[in-house]
A = this chain, B = another copy of it.
Amino acid sequence: MSNLDGDSPKIHVETPPVAPSAPSEGHLAPASHGGIGGILRRWKREDLIKRGSLGLRGVALLFSLISFFIMASNKHGDWREFDKYEEYRYLLAIAILSSLYTGAQAFRLLQELSTAKQLLQPRMAAMIDFFGDQIIAYLLISSASSAIPITNRMREGADNIFTDSSAAAISMSIFAFLCLAVSALISGYKLSTQPYI
């Protein structure tokens, strides 16, 4: 539509004195505009944090699943079977655990983002997030560290598809650890914004 009538410029002139008044957004201003702006900003920030944790957990889920699949299919007969070594069994177990945890968390966050409804109490969810991320991150770095020395020793002797697959699974577990370590930091921030803690 073109500006043929004089009404729409009138509306544009009326709004500016309210909208760009930056000092009215402080705590001292009793105006409802500043409060709504603050709430909207907080919602936007919380939404960004939620999307960030969802992304990090999605990537961690991907890496855990790849680690799980590579290690589970790492059976090539004779001594080249992953289940003959406790380190590789540990790595596999933690990769499965991490896949389940990050999958459940990503599903929950996706549900909350799409329906805008909280599945758990906010404080409970923040606690589960923080402790869960921390514990899975510790388990992932522990399993990767335990599998590295034996793989190193095997590769000194022979370099074949078995040792290469093990190295790939270890790398994927380390990437998943990095994602969850960052996610634990974000969860710690979210926990600290909960009231009464």
Chain A residues in the interface with B (C-beta under 8 A): 86-87, 134, 137-138, 141-146, 148-150, 152, 181, 188-189, 191-193, 197
Taking CB atoms, residues of chain B closer than 8 Å to A189 are 192, 197
In whole angstroms, how far apart are the Cα atoms of A144 and B171 in the complex?
19
Taking CB atoms, residues of chain B closer than 8 Å to A141 are 138, 141-142, 145
Give the top 6 A-B pairs by smallest Cβ distance, nearest first: A192-B192, A142-B145, A145-B145, A145-B146, A188-B188, A87-B149
Closest to A189 in B: B192
Question: Distance in Å from the Cβ of A127 to the closest Cβ of chain B?
Answer: 11
Taking CB atoms, residues of chain B closer than 8 Å to A143 are 145
A149/B152 contact (C-beta < 8 A), A141-B142, A142-B142, A192-B188 known: no
Question: Distance in Å from the Cβ of A192 to the closest Cβ of chain B?
Answer: 3
Task: Select one of B87, B181, B193 contacting A138, CB under 8 A.
Answer: B181
In whole angstroms, how far apart are the Cα atoms of A138 and B197 in the complex?
25
Most buried by B among A148, A149, A193: A149
Taking CB atoms, residues of chain B closer than 8 Å to A191 are 188, 192
Closest to A139 in B: B141
Question: Distance in Å from the Cβ of A148 to the closest Cβ of chain B?
Answer: 6
Taking CB atoms, residues of chain B closer than 8 Å to A87 are 149
Taking CB atoms, residues of chain B closer than 8 Å to A152 are 86
Taking CB atoms, residues of chain B closer than 8 Å to A145 are 141-143, 145-146
